[in-house]
A and B are shown apart, each in its own frame.
Chain A
Amino acid sequence: MPVQVKRLLLVFAFFIAISVALIYFLTPKSFGEYGHYRGKALEEISSTEIKYVQMDDCAMCHDSIAELKNSGLHATLQCEVCHGPGFNHIEDYENNRMEIPNEGQFCMRCHIMNAASPKKVIKQIDAVEHAEGEDCITCHNPHQPWL
């Protein structure tokens, strides 16, 4: 082998060695634990705080409302679909009030007349014609629409 090639090979070997060593020192420890990614990321992603809880948690304190709701046609609705996220309220209900939805259009999120919305699943109404300017909750209880 000519001496130039030998030297060139040495130089190559040197650079490869350097980069391999760099990779060793620069990759995070948990990289490759489960696959081509940082294993610790799994833990980090699943450690964020929750904001929504579940209906059972509201029922602990608001048992009469929960019972009322679950005996009516809104039984499939979660409390938080109308009242917003409840984690903070559960932790400290005095300083964290839930939303009370009272804008006129609120019920129409779900009950609006739209051909795309399946009639079998939800009853739809024309707000102007049906409510005649009154609030929905003057006639319907939001927790049990038929009382």
Chain B
Amino acid sequence: MALENKNLSRQEFLKKLGLFAGGVVFVSTINPLKMVFATEKPKNGKWYGIAIDIEKCIGCGSCARSCKIENDVSQEPFYFRNWVEQYTITNEHEIKVSSPNGGIDGFEQPVPDEDIYKTFFVPKMCNHCSDSPCTQVCPVGASFDSPEGIVLVDQTYCIGCGYCVQACPYGCRYIDPLKGVADKCTLCSHRLEKGLDPACMMICPTHARIYGDLNNKNSEVSLFLKEHNCAVLKPHLNTHSKLFYNDLNQEVH
């Protein structure tokens, strides 16, 4: 090419080289800027939210069990995408929280009935926050909010640094022991895609967990929020969680 031209002066050669390099750089700068201009507009206008009715949870652990099977989560008792906690507040106002194997094997009440002030189950899962701390700390852009408001992990892109696991104030993430990358609840997006409910919500024998489109004021979750007095966990952290609990006690964290 240019090098074969013997008559080319050094200055001309450098000029051409400069032009060529400039061209490459120019094209390259446009591409990374694509994400700045990318619209965050929902694809089909959905914005998913979840509601959990604490009054209905019987602590059978079917949700945690089905979640592990549906999503191939390690069966070891440290890895959960969703689990159930048993809160027991004694007459002396001591708060006991237990979640043996996430509730999969059932619960034991550690306190005799006459010493209990109050006790209840709290099903836990990813809050799918609108302003998720976990996605903000990801150094490589592997963790993100989908256009429908679901917080997801791109496992082929994740480097397994574990920042997001630390950042989640609700303890909803873990490093997959086999893949070595971050893993979390996806609201079963592979089921949503096929028109099915998330496994934990489908399997619940008392319909304690519901989900739906918060933008649609007639969806099941919107109507539930209208009729019940719901609260989110740790509102002071401004994560704008989209997991709403009915009948949430102040002691729950």
Binding site for B on A (CB under 8 A): 17, 20-21, 23-25, 27-28, 31-38, 41-42, 44-54, 76-78, 80-81, 84-85, 108-110, 112, 114-118, 120-122
Name which of B107, B144, B196 has the most chain A CB atoms within 10 A of its CB: B144
Binds A, one of B2-10, B202-210, B215-223, B238-246: B202-210
Tell which of A34, A112, A117 touches B38, judged by Cβ atoms closer than 8 Å: A34
Q: What is the bound-complex CA distance between A76 and B34, given in angstroms?
A: 48
Interface contact A117-B189, CB-CB below 8 Å: no
Partner of B32, one of A27, A34, A54, A110: A27
A80 to nearest B CB, angstroms? Answer: 6
By DSSP majority rule, is chain B's interface helix, strand, loop, or mixed? mixed
| Contact surface of B with A, Cβ cutoff 8 Å | 21, 24-25, 27-29, 31-32, 34-35, 38-40, 55-62, 66, 69-70, 86-88, 106-107, 109, 113, 116, 119-121, 141-147, 152, 154, 156-157, 186, 189-194, 196-197, 199, 202-203, 205-207
A-side binding surface: helix, strand, loop or mixed? Answer: loop
8 contacts between A and B (CB under 8 A): A31-B35, A32-B35, A45-B152, A50-B190, A51-B69, A52-B196, A54-B196, A117-B58
Total contacts A-B at CB 8 Å: 158
User: Which listed residue (A47, A51, A116) contacts B120, Cβ 8 A?
Assistant: A116
Q: Which residues on the A side are within 8 Å of B87 (C-beta)?
A: 116
Q: A46-B189, A50-B70 are in contact. Are A41 and B109 (CB under 8 A)?
A: no
Choose among A23, A46, A51, A121 the residue with the greatest number of B CB atoms under 10 Å from its CB. Answer: A46
- Contact at A37–B141, with CB atoms within 8 Å? yes
Among the listed A52, A108, A110, A115, which residue makes an inter-chain contact with B202, where contact means beta carbons less than 8 Å apart? Answer: A52
Q: Is the CB of B205 within 8 A of A116?
A: no
Q: Tell whether, in the assembled complex, residue B154 and residue A116 are in contact, meaning their CB atoms are under 8 Å apart.
A: no
B121 pairs with A38, CB closer than 8 A: no
Q: Contact: B35 with A52, CB < 8 Å?
A: no
Residues of A within 8 A of B109 (CB): 114-116
Q: State whether A47 touches B190 (Cβ < 8 A).
A: yes
B193 and A52 contacting across the interface, CB-CB below 8 Å? no
> Pick the contact of B21 from A17, A36, A116 — CB < 8 Å?
A17
Q: Which residues of B contact A121 (CB under 8 A)?
A: 55-56, 58, 206
Q: Given known contacts A21-B24, A27-B31, A48-B190, what 7 new A-B pairs fall within 8 Å (CB)?
A: A17-B24, A32-B35, A41-B156, A50-B191, A50-B196, A52-B70, A85-B69
Q: A81-B62, A114-B107, A122-B206 are in contact. Are A35 and B69 (CB under 8 A)?
A: no
Residue of A nearest to B194 (CB): A50
Q: How far is the CB of B187 from chain A (nearest CB, A)?
A: 10
Task: Compute how far the CA of A117 lies from the CA of B35 in the bound complex, rounded to whole angstroms.
Answer: 48
Contact A78 B186 (CB under 8 A): no
Q: Give Cα distance in the complex from A54 to B106, angstroms.
A: 24
Say whether B119 contacts A116, CB under 8 Å. yes
* Residues of the B chain whose Cβ atoms lie less than 8 Å from the Cβ of A114: 59, 107, 109
A81 contact set on B, CB distance < 8 A: 62, 66, 203, 205
Q: A108 vs B58: C-alpha distance in the bound complex, in angstroms? A: 11
Query: Is the CB–CB distance between B35 and A36 below 8 Å?
Result: yes
CB distance from B221 to the nearest CB of A (A): 18
Determine which of A21, A36, A41, A54 lies in contact with B25 in the assembled complex, contact meaning CB atoms within 8 Å. A21
What is the CA–CA distance of A110 and B62 in the complex, to the nearest angstrom?
Answer: 9
For the complex, give the distance between the alpha carbons of A114 and B207 in Å. Answer: 19
* Bound complex: CA A37 to CA B34 (Å): 11
> Residue of A at shortest CB range from B144?
A37
Residues of B near A122 (CB, < 8 A) are 58, 206
